[in-house]
Protein backbone atom coordinates (compact mmCIF):
# COMPACT_ATOMS: atom_id res chain seq x y z
CA UNK A 1 0.00 0.00 0.00
CA UNK A 2 1.43 3.42 -0.96
CA UNK A 3 1.83 6.16 1.64
CA UNK A 4 -1.02 8.01 0.02
CA UNK A 5 -3.48 5.06 0.15
CA UNK A 6 -2.60 4.26 3.77
CA UNK A 7 -2.92 7.91 4.84
CA UNK A 8 -6.29 8.26 3.12
CA UNK A 9 -7.63 5.30 5.09
CA UNK A 10 -6.24 6.99 8.20
CA UNK A 11 -8.06 10.24 7.27
CA UNK A 12 -11.37 8.39 6.91
CA UNK A 13 -10.89 6.69 10.31
CA UNK A 14 -9.79 9.95 12.01
CA UNK A 15 -12.88 11.87 10.80
CA UNK A 16 -15.09 8.92 11.68
CA UNK A 17 -13.76 8.93 15.26
CA UNK A 18 -14.81 12.57 15.60
CA UNK A 19 -18.09 12.40 13.73
CA UNK A 20 -20.34 13.57 16.59
CA UNK A 21 -17.93 16.38 17.45
CA UNK A 22 -17.99 17.60 13.82
CA UNK A 23 -21.80 17.47 13.65
CA UNK A 24 -22.10 19.34 16.98
CA UNK A 25 -19.69 22.00 15.76
CA UNK A 26 -21.62 22.47 12.51
CA UNK A 27 -24.87 22.84 14.44
CA UNK A 28 -23.37 25.33 16.85
CA UNK A 29 -22.31 27.52 13.89
CA UNK A 30 -25.71 26.97 12.23
CA UNK A 31 -27.43 28.35 15.34
CA UNK A 32 -25.17 31.42 15.54
CA UNK A 33 -25.43 32.85 12.01
CA UNK A 34 -23.63 36.14 11.38
CA UNK A 35 -23.51 38.46 8.37
CA UNK A 36 -20.39 39.30 6.35
CA UNK A 37 -17.51 41.06 8.13
CA UNK A 38 -19.43 40.64 11.41
CA UNK A 39 -18.70 36.94 11.98
CA UNK A 40 -17.09 37.50 15.42
CA UNK A 41 -18.62 34.55 17.29
CA UNK A 42 -18.06 32.19 14.37
CA UNK A 43 -14.44 33.32 13.96
CA UNK A 44 -13.81 32.87 17.71
CA UNK A 45 -15.20 29.35 17.54
CA UNK A 46 -13.06 28.44 14.51
CA UNK A 47 -10.01 29.93 16.23
CA UNK A 48 -10.64 27.93 19.42
CA UNK A 49 -11.01 24.68 17.46
CA UNK A 50 -7.75 25.26 15.57
CA UNK A 51 -5.97 26.12 18.84
CA UNK A 52 -7.21 22.84 20.33
CA UNK A 53 -5.20 21.13 17.58
CA UNK A 54 -2.08 22.90 18.86
CA UNK A 55 -1.92 25.37 15.98
CA UNK A 56 -0.90 29.02 16.19
CA UNK A 57 -3.84 30.96 14.84
CA UNK A 58 -3.86 34.36 13.15
CA UNK A 59 -7.16 36.20 13.63
CA UNK A 60 -8.65 39.51 12.53
CA UNK A 61 -7.58 39.03 8.90
CA UNK A 62 -9.84 41.31 6.84
CA UNK A 63 -11.70 42.00 10.11
CA UNK A 64 -12.91 38.49 10.98
CA UNK A 65 -10.77 36.07 8.94
CA UNK A 66 -8.81 33.27 10.59
CA UNK A 67 -5.77 31.32 9.41
CA UNK A 68 -3.58 28.63 10.94
CA UNK A 69 -0.63 26.92 9.26
CA UNK A 70 1.28 23.73 9.78
CA UNK A 71 4.48 22.70 8.05
CA UNK A 72 5.71 19.20 7.31
CA UNK A 73 9.32 20.38 7.47
CA UNK A 74 9.87 19.04 3.96
CA UNK A 75 9.76 21.09 0.75
CA UNK A 76 6.53 21.22 -1.19
CA UNK A 77 3.57 23.42 -1.98
CA UNK A 78 1.34 25.13 0.57
CA UNK A 79 -2.25 23.93 0.21
CA UNK A 80 -5.12 25.86 1.78
CA UNK A 81 -8.29 24.21 3.02
CA UNK A 82 -10.91 26.88 3.25
CA UNK A 83 -14.32 27.56 4.73
CA UNK A 84 -16.54 30.66 4.51
CA UNK A 85 -17.70 32.32 7.71
CA UNK A 86 -20.78 34.30 6.71
CA UNK A 87 -24.52 33.74 6.71
CA UNK A 88 -26.95 35.87 4.69
CA UNK A 89 -30.16 37.73 5.53
CA UNK A 90 -33.09 35.30 5.17
CA UNK A 91 -35.30 36.20 8.18
CA UNK A 92 -37.88 33.52 7.33
CA UNK A 93 -35.28 30.72 7.42
CA UNK A 94 -35.89 27.99 10.00
CA UNK A 95 -32.60 28.80 11.77
CA UNK A 96 -32.53 32.59 11.29
CA UNK A 97 -31.24 34.83 14.05
CA UNK A 98 -34.41 36.61 15.29
CA UNK A 99 -32.55 39.90 15.73
CA UNK A 100 -30.43 40.17 12.58
CA UNK A 101 -32.38 37.88 10.24
CA UNK A 102 -29.08 36.18 9.36
CA UNK A 103 -29.30 32.51 8.45
CA UNK A 104 -27.00 29.88 7.03
CA UNK A 105 -29.21 29.58 3.96
CA UNK A 106 -26.12 28.94 1.84
CA UNK A 107 -24.77 26.25 4.20
CA UNK A 108 -21.45 27.93 4.99
CA UNK A 109 -21.59 26.42 8.48
CA UNK A 110 -21.04 23.04 6.81
CA UNK A 111 -17.91 24.33 5.06
CA UNK A 112 -16.38 25.32 8.40
CA UNK A 113 -17.23 21.97 9.97
CA UNK A 114 -15.66 20.15 7.02
CA UNK A 115 -12.54 22.32 7.16
CA UNK A 116 -12.12 21.81 10.91
CA UNK A 117 -12.84 18.07 10.62
CA UNK A 118 -10.19 17.79 7.90
CA UNK A 119 -7.73 19.82 10.00
CA UNK A 120 -8.19 17.50 12.99
CA UNK A 121 -7.43 14.49 10.77
CA UNK A 122 -4.45 16.06 8.97
CA UNK A 123 -2.55 17.78 11.80
CA UNK A 124 -1.38 14.55 13.52
CA UNK A 125 0.03 13.12 10.26
CA UNK A 126 1.62 16.27 8.83
CA UNK A 127 5.16 14.92 9.31
CA UNK A 128 4.31 12.12 6.88
CA UNK A 129 3.52 14.69 4.17
CA UNK A 130 5.64 17.20 2.24
CA UNK A 131 4.96 20.92 1.92
CA UNK A 132 2.49 22.61 4.24
CA UNK A 133 -1.16 23.21 4.99
CA UNK A 134 -3.12 26.35 5.79
CA UNK A 135 -6.58 26.20 7.33
CA UNK A 136 -8.43 29.37 6.43
CA UNK A 137 -11.83 30.80 7.38
CA UNK A 138 -12.76 33.70 5.10
CA UNK A 139 -15.34 36.41 5.84
CA UNK A 140 -18.08 37.85 3.68
CA UNK A 141 -18.64 35.68 0.61
CA UNK A 142 -22.26 36.68 0.06
CA UNK A 143 -21.75 40.32 -1.02
CA UNK A 144 -24.54 41.40 1.34
CA UNK A 145 -24.96 44.31 3.74
CA UNK A 146 -23.77 46.78 1.12
CA UNK A 147 -24.39 49.78 3.37
CA UNK A 148 -22.19 48.28 6.08
CA UNK A 149 -19.51 47.32 3.54
CA UNK A 150 -19.43 50.83 2.17
CA UNK A 151 -18.96 52.21 5.69
CA UNK A 152 -16.05 49.82 6.21
CA UNK A 153 -14.55 50.88 2.88
CA UNK A 154 -15.06 54.58 3.66
CA UNK A 155 -13.33 54.17 7.03
CA UNK A 156 -10.39 52.40 5.33
CA UNK A 157 -10.93 49.09 7.12
CA UNK A 158 -11.39 47.14 3.88
CA UNK A 159 -11.23 47.82 0.14
CA UNK A 160 -13.71 45.20 -1.13
CA UNK A 161 -17.10 43.83 -0.15
CA UNK A 162 -15.90 40.25 -0.66
CA UNK A 163 -13.68 38.48 1.86
CA UNK A 164 -11.50 36.68 -0.69
CA UNK A 165 -10.66 39.76 -2.80
CA UNK A 166 -9.89 41.49 0.47
CA UNK A 167 -7.62 38.59 1.48
CA UNK A 168 -5.89 38.89 -1.92
CA UNK A 169 -5.43 42.65 -1.36
CA UNK A 170 -4.00 42.04 2.10
CA UNK A 171 -1.63 39.33 0.80
CA UNK A 172 -3.20 36.49 2.83
CA UNK A 173 -3.08 34.19 -0.23
CA UNK A 174 0.39 35.28 -1.38
CA UNK A 175 2.15 32.14 -0.13
CA UNK A 176 -0.65 29.70 -1.04
CA UNK A 177 -0.24 27.41 -4.06
CA UNK A 178 -3.72 25.89 -4.34
CA UNK A 179 -7.04 26.16 -2.51
CA UNK A 180 -9.66 23.54 -1.62
CA UNK A 181 -13.27 24.25 -0.65
CA UNK A 182 -16.45 22.18 -0.60
CA UNK A 183 -19.76 24.04 -0.74
CA UNK A 184 -23.15 22.86 0.53
CA UNK A 185 -25.42 21.44 -2.15
CA UNK A 186 -27.79 18.74 -3.31
CA UNK A 187 -25.30 16.53 -5.04
CA UNK A 188 -21.59 15.89 -5.55
CA UNK A 189 -20.63 17.99 -8.56
CA UNK A 190 -18.23 20.67 -9.59
CA UNK A 191 -18.95 23.61 -11.88
CA UNK A 192 -16.60 24.20 -14.77
CA UNK A 193 -17.04 27.94 -14.36
CA UNK A 194 -19.10 30.64 -12.64
CA UNK A 195 -20.02 34.08 -13.93
CA UNK A 196 -18.17 37.06 -12.53
CA UNK A 197 -20.07 40.26 -11.80
CA UNK A 198 -19.88 43.97 -11.24
CA UNK A 199 -22.35 45.57 -8.81
CA UNK A 200 -23.59 49.00 -9.82
CA UNK A 201 -25.42 51.72 -7.94
CA UNK A 202 -27.01 54.31 -10.21
CA UNK A 203 -28.42 57.56 -8.89
CA UNK A 204 -30.46 59.73 -11.26
CA UNK A 205 -31.04 63.30 -10.19
CA UNK A 206 -33.69 65.52 -11.74
CA UNK A 207 -35.84 68.31 -10.40
CA UNK A 208 -38.98 68.14 -8.26
CA UNK A 209 -42.20 69.84 -9.37
CA UNK A 210 -45.94 69.54 -8.71
CA UNK A 211 -47.07 66.44 -10.61
CA UNK A 212 -50.45 67.88 -11.59
CA UNK A 213 -49.99 71.62 -11.58
CA UNK A 214 -46.65 72.20 -13.35
CA UNK A 215 -45.00 68.88 -14.26
CA UNK A 216 -43.12 70.63 -17.11
CA UNK A 217 -41.06 72.46 -14.49
CA UNK A 218 -39.63 69.14 -13.26
CA UNK A 219 -37.02 66.67 -14.50
CA UNK A 220 -38.32 63.21 -13.76
CA UNK A 221 -35.59 61.00 -12.27
CA UNK A 222 -37.90 57.96 -12.14
CA UNK A 223 -38.52 58.29 -15.89
CA UNK A 224 -34.78 58.31 -16.49
CA UNK A 225 -34.43 55.13 -14.42
CA UNK A 226 -37.31 53.43 -16.31
CA UNK A 227 -35.91 54.36 -19.71
CA UNK A 228 -32.44 53.18 -18.69
CA UNK A 229 -33.93 49.79 -17.75
CA UNK A 230 -35.87 49.64 -21.04
CA UNK A 231 -32.74 50.32 -23.05
CA UNK A 232 -30.76 47.72 -21.08
CA UNK A 233 -33.55 45.20 -21.78
CA UNK A 234 -33.38 46.03 -25.50
CA UNK A 235 -29.66 45.27 -25.50
CA UNK A 236 -30.02 41.67 -24.36
CA UNK A 237 -29.78 40.10 -27.81
CA UNK A 238 -26.61 42.07 -28.54
CA UNK A 239 -24.66 39.97 -26.06
CA UNK A 240 -22.86 36.90 -27.37
CA UNK A 241 -24.35 33.66 -25.93
CA UNK A 242 -20.88 32.37 -25.11
CA UNK A 243 -20.36 35.24 -22.63
CA UNK A 244 -23.37 34.16 -20.55
CA UNK A 245 -24.27 37.79 -19.78
CA UNK A 246 -26.93 38.35 -17.13
CA UNK A 247 -28.12 41.76 -16.02
CA UNK A 248 -30.60 42.07 -13.20
CA UNK A 249 -31.48 44.56 -10.56
CA UNK A 250 -33.96 46.58 -8.59
CA UNK A 251 -35.34 50.09 -8.41
CA UNK A 252 -34.26 50.96 -4.89
CA UNK A 253 -35.67 54.51 -4.99
CA UNK A 254 -38.42 55.65 -7.34
CA UNK A 255 -39.46 58.91 -5.70
CA UNK A 256 -41.17 60.03 -2.50
CA UNK A 257 -44.73 61.09 -3.27
CA UNK A 258 -47.16 60.36 -6.10
CA UNK A 259 -47.96 64.00 -6.71
CA UNK A 260 -44.34 65.13 -6.93
CA UNK A 261 -42.15 64.68 -10.01
CA UNK A 262 -39.37 62.50 -8.53
CA UNK A 263 -36.12 64.43 -8.17
CA UNK A 264 -34.18 61.30 -7.32
CA UNK A 265 -34.26 57.68 -8.43
CA UNK A 266 -31.87 54.88 -7.70
CA UNK A 267 -31.13 51.56 -9.38
CA UNK A 268 -29.00 48.70 -8.14
CA UNK A 269 -27.82 46.45 -10.93
CA UNK A 270 -25.67 43.38 -11.12
CA UNK A 271 -23.91 42.77 -14.43
CA UNK A 272 -22.63 39.21 -14.81
CA UNK A 273 -20.62 37.43 -17.46
CA UNK A 274 -18.30 34.49 -17.99
CA UNK A 275 -14.98 36.32 -18.41
CA UNK A 276 -13.59 39.52 -16.83
CA UNK A 277 -13.46 41.12 -20.27
CA UNK A 278 -17.10 40.20 -20.97
CA UNK A 279 -18.16 41.74 -17.62
CA UNK A 280 -16.25 44.89 -18.54
CA UNK A 281 -17.85 45.06 -22.01
CA UNK A 282 -21.38 44.43 -20.71
CA UNK A 283 -20.82 47.18 -18.12
CA UNK A 284 -19.87 49.58 -20.91
CA UNK A 285 -23.19 48.81 -22.69
CA UNK A 286 -25.14 49.28 -19.46
CA UNK A 287 -23.37 52.58 -18.75
CA UNK A 288 -24.25 53.85 -22.24
CA UNK A 289 -27.94 53.10 -21.63
CA UNK A 290 -27.82 54.87 -18.26
CA UNK A 291 -26.09 57.93 -19.66
CA UNK A 292 -28.41 57.90 -22.67
CA UNK A 293 -31.45 58.07 -20.40
CA UNK A 294 -29.99 60.93 -18.37
CA UNK A 295 -29.08 62.79 -21.54
CA UNK A 296 -32.51 62.37 -23.10
CA UNK A 297 -34.25 63.97 -20.15
CA UNK A 298 -31.57 66.50 -19.23
CA UNK A 299 -30.76 65.06 -15.84
CA UNK A 300 -27.73 64.07 -13.87
CA UNK A 301 -26.53 60.55 -13.16
CA UNK A 302 -23.87 59.05 -10.94
CA UNK A 303 -22.71 55.53 -11.74
CA UNK A 304 -20.85 53.92 -8.86
CA UNK A 305 -19.30 50.50 -9.41
CA UNK A 306 -19.35 48.80 -6.04
CA UNK A 307 -16.93 46.04 -6.99
CA UNK A 308 -17.83 42.46 -7.65
CA UNK A 309 -16.36 39.03 -8.14
CA UNK A 310 -14.20 37.65 -10.89
CA UNK A 311 -15.48 34.67 -12.91
CA UNK A 312 -14.46 31.28 -11.54
CA UNK A 313 -12.43 28.93 -13.67
CA UNK A 314 -12.14 25.38 -12.41
CA UNK A 315 -8.87 23.45 -12.37
CA UNK A 316 -9.43 20.10 -14.16
CA UNK A 317 -6.41 18.56 -12.38
CA UNK A 318 -7.80 19.44 -8.92
CA UNK A 319 -11.27 18.26 -9.96
CA UNK A 320 -9.71 14.93 -10.99
CA UNK A 321 -8.06 14.56 -7.56
CA UNK A 322 -11.38 15.24 -5.85
CA UNK A 323 -13.27 12.87 -8.18
CA UNK A 324 -10.80 10.07 -7.46
CA UNK A 325 -11.17 10.51 -3.69
CA UNK A 326 -14.97 10.66 -3.88
CA UNK A 327 -14.96 7.37 -5.78
CA UNK A 328 -12.59 5.86 -3.24
CA UNK A 329 -14.64 7.11 -0.28
CA UNK A 330 -18.07 5.81 -1.24
CA UNK A 331 -18.12 5.06 -4.97
CA UNK A 332 -19.54 8.56 -5.59
CA UNK A 333 -19.40 10.26 -8.95
CA UNK A 334 -18.33 13.89 -9.28
CA UNK A 335 -20.43 15.28 -12.11
CA UNK A 336 -19.31 18.26 -14.17
CA UNK A 337 -21.99 20.90 -13.88
CA UNK A 338 -20.72 23.08 -16.74
CA UNK A 339 -21.19 26.82 -16.42
CA UNK A 340 -23.16 28.48 -13.60
CA UNK A 341 -24.84 31.87 -14.01
CA UNK A 342 -24.26 32.73 -10.35
CA UNK A 343 -21.01 33.99 -8.84
CA UNK A 344 -18.62 33.41 -5.95
CA UNK A 345 -15.50 35.23 -4.80
CA UNK A 346 -13.70 31.90 -5.16
CA UNK A 347 -13.61 33.25 -8.75
CA UNK A 348 -11.09 35.86 -7.62
CA UNK A 349 -8.87 33.15 -6.11
CA UNK A 350 -9.23 30.95 -9.22
CA UNK A 351 -7.82 33.73 -11.42
CA UNK A 352 -4.56 33.60 -9.46
CA UNK A 353 -4.06 29.93 -8.49
CA UNK A 354 -5.62 26.46 -8.90
CA UNK A 355 -8.84 26.31 -6.87
CA UNK A 356 -11.34 23.57 -6.13
CA UNK A 357 -14.94 24.68 -5.55
CA UNK A 358 -16.76 21.36 -5.32
CA UNK A 359 -20.26 20.71 -3.96
CA UNK A 360 -21.38 18.05 -1.54
CA UNK A 361 -24.80 16.46 -1.08
CA UNK A 362 -26.81 16.40 2.14
CA UNK A 363 -28.93 19.57 1.80
CA UNK A 364 -32.55 20.01 0.76
CA UNK A 365 -34.48 23.12 -0.30
CA UNK A 366 -33.37 26.04 -2.47
CA UNK A 367 -30.05 27.76 -1.77
CA UNK A 368 -30.56 31.25 -0.25
CA UNK A 369 -34.18 30.37 0.54
CA UNK A 370 -35.91 29.67 3.85
CA UNK A 371 -35.96 25.91 3.31
CA UNK A 372 -32.26 25.31 2.58
CA UNK A 373 -31.34 22.96 5.42
CA UNK A 374 -29.29 19.87 6.13
CA UNK A 375 -31.19 16.68 5.39
CA UNK A 376 -28.29 14.25 5.78
CA UNK A 377 -25.48 15.24 8.20
CA UNK A 378 -23.31 12.37 7.00
CA UNK A 379 -23.20 13.79 3.46
CA UNK A 380 -23.31 17.45 4.50
CA UNK A 381 -20.48 17.38 7.04
CA UNK A 382 -18.68 14.06 7.45
CA UNK A 383 -18.05 13.08 3.82
CA UNK A 384 -16.73 16.58 3.08
CA UNK A 385 -14.31 16.52 6.03
CA UNK A 386 -12.98 13.16 4.85
CA UNK A 387 -12.72 14.34 1.25
CA UNK A 388 -10.86 17.56 2.05
CA UNK A 389 -8.35 15.58 4.15
CA UNK A 390 -8.00 12.97 1.40
CA UNK A 391 -7.54 15.67 -1.27
CA UNK A 392 -4.77 17.24 0.83
CA UNK A 393 -3.14 13.79 1.16
CA UNK A 394 -3.36 13.28 -2.63
CA UNK A 395 -1.51 16.56 -3.10
CA UNK A 396 1.09 16.33 -0.34
CA UNK A 397 1.84 12.60 0.14
CA UNK A 398 4.55 10.76 -1.81
CA UNK A 399 6.88 13.79 -1.74
CA UNK A 400 4.00 16.10 -2.78
CA UNK A 401 4.45 14.97 -6.39
CA UNK A 402 0.85 15.77 -7.37
CA UNK A 403 0.75 19.00 -5.37
CA UNK A 404 3.92 20.26 -7.05
CA UNK A 405 2.47 19.45 -10.48
CA UNK A 406 -0.71 21.39 -9.73
CA UNK A 407 1.10 24.30 -8.06
CA UNK A 408 3.17 24.70 -11.25
CA UNK A 409 0.09 25.18 -13.46
CA UNK A 410 -0.06 28.67 -15.03
CA UNK A 411 -2.43 31.21 -13.44
CA UNK A 412 -5.24 32.75 -15.51
CA UNK A 413 -3.78 36.20 -14.83
CA UNK A 414 -1.12 37.86 -12.69
CA UNK A 415 -1.93 40.01 -9.69
CA UNK A 416 -1.32 43.24 -11.60
CA UNK A 417 -3.91 42.38 -14.27
CA UNK A 418 -6.27 41.21 -11.53
CA UNK A 419 -6.10 44.57 -9.75
CA UNK A 420 -6.61 46.44 -13.04
CA UNK A 421 -9.98 44.71 -13.38
CA UNK A 422 -10.78 45.35 -9.71
CA UNK A 423 -10.11 49.04 -10.33
CA UNK A 424 -12.53 49.14 -13.28
CA UNK A 425 -15.17 47.39 -11.19
CA UNK A 426 -14.83 49.90 -8.34
CA UNK A 427 -14.71 53.09 -10.40
CA UNK A 428 -17.29 55.85 -10.16
CA UNK A 429 -18.41 58.51 -12.66
CA UNK A 430 -20.81 61.41 -12.79
CA UNK A 431 -22.54 62.79 -15.89
CA UNK A 432 -24.52 66.01 -15.89
CA UNK A 433 -26.89 66.72 -18.77
CA UNK A 434 -28.94 69.23 -16.80
CA UNK A 435 -31.01 71.15 -19.37
CA UNK A 436 -30.99 74.18 -17.10
* Residues engaged in binding Zn ion (CB under 5 A): 106
Between residues 106 and 269, which has the closer beta carbon with respect to Zn ion?
A: 106
Report, in Å, the least distance between residue 106 CB and Zn ion.
3
Closest to Zn ion by CB, 163 vs 262, is 163
- Nearest residue to Zn ion by CB is 106
DSSP 50-90: HHHTT--EEEEETTTEEEEEEE-SS---EEEEEEE---EE-
Q: Supply the minimum distance, in Å, between the C-beta of residue 69 and Zn ion.
A: 25
Smallest gap from residue 355 Cβ to Zn ion (A): 14
Please state the closest distance from residue 313 (CB atom) to Zn ion, in A.
Answer: 18
163 vs 218, beta carbon nearer Zn ion? 163
Our CB check for Zn ion shows the closer of 106 and 125 to be: 106
Q: Are 263 and 254 a contacting pair, CB within 8 Å? A: no
Report d(CA 426, CA 436) in Å as an integer. Answer: 30
| CB nearer Zn ion, residue 83 or residue 117 | 83
- Cβ proximity to Zn ion: between 43 and 106 the closer is 106
CA distance 118 to 101: 30
Long-range contacts of 365-370 (CB under 8 A, 24+ apart): 367/105, 367/106, 367/107, 367/184, 367/185, 368/88, 368/90, 368/105, 368/106, 369/90, 369/93, 369/105, 370/90, 370/92, 370/93, 370/94, 370/103, 370/105
Strand partners, 180: 81, 356
Task: Give least dist CB 385 to Zn ion, A.
Answer: 18
What is the 8-class DSSP label of residue 306?
Answer: E
Smallest distance from Zn ion to CB 110, Å: 10
Amino acid sequence: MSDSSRLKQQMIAAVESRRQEIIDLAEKILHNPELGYREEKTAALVCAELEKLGLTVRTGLAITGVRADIDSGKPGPRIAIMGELDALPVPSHTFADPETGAAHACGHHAQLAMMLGAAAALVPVVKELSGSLAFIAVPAEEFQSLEYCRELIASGKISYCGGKPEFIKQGVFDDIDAVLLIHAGHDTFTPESFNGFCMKQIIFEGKAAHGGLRPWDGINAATMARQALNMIDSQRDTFDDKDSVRIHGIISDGGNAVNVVPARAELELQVRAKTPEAVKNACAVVDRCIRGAAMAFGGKVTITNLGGYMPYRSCPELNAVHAENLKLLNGGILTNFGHRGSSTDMGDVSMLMPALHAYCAGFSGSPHARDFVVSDPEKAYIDGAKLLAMDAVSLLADGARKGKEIAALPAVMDKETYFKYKEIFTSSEEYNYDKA
